[in-house]
Amino acid sequence: MSAEQNPAPESEPRPRRLIYAAALAALEGLALVVGGVWILVLGLTGAPDDRQQAVTGGVTLVVLALLPLLAARGLFARRSWSRGPAVITQIMALPVAYNLLQADSMAIPAGIALAVVAVTALVLLVNAETTRALGIRGPGNAQQ
């Protein structure tokens, strides 16, 4: 990335909101990796109804974990491109949280936690301080 694409001064300390947003994205990514590996191990060692479906689900979760993990790395490094994938991750998490909240099981606390994390991360990501730290300018504010 060139300095033109990321004009935020690196000498300034990272805003806390940016660090928190990166940490939440990393937390989501790690949770997806753990869940994917868990499903994969259970699919391979247990007696699932459909072993192929369990393996496919586990691999899919691990691959999906790349989006929030890369976004977290980019946010921490103050890369302006990283806000897009981070926001997309949070928007994708909201319907998952809603579905977990509709369950009559232990999934309800997980749905509450996921909803809180997703909404908190969205608020942190669209905050003006975070936007400035990433060097993102609003419409009509581009330098000429």
One digit per residue, the tens of pLDDT, for the chain of length 144 reads 444 455 455 667 889 999 999 999 999 999 999 999 999 998 888 877 888 888 999 999 999 999 999 999 999 999 999 999 999 999 999 999 999 999 888 889 999 999 999 999 999 999 999 999 998 886 666 555
In a domain, 52, yes or no: yes
- Whole-model pTM: value is 0.83
In a domain, 112, yes or no: yes
In a domain, 84, yes or no: yes
The C-alpha atoms of residue 106 and residue 109 are separated, in whole angstroms, by: 6
DSSP 3: T
In a domain, 113, yes or no: yes
In a domain, 10, yes or no: no
- 36 — phi, psi (to 5°)? -65, -45
Find, among 106, 122, 96, 124, the residue nearest to 31 by Cα. Answer: 96
The C-alpha atoms of residue 78 and residue 72 are separated, in whole angstroms, by: 10
Structural domains in the chain (count): 1
The C-alpha atoms of residue 25 and residue 91 are separated, in whole angstroms, by: 12
Range of the domain at 59: 16-133
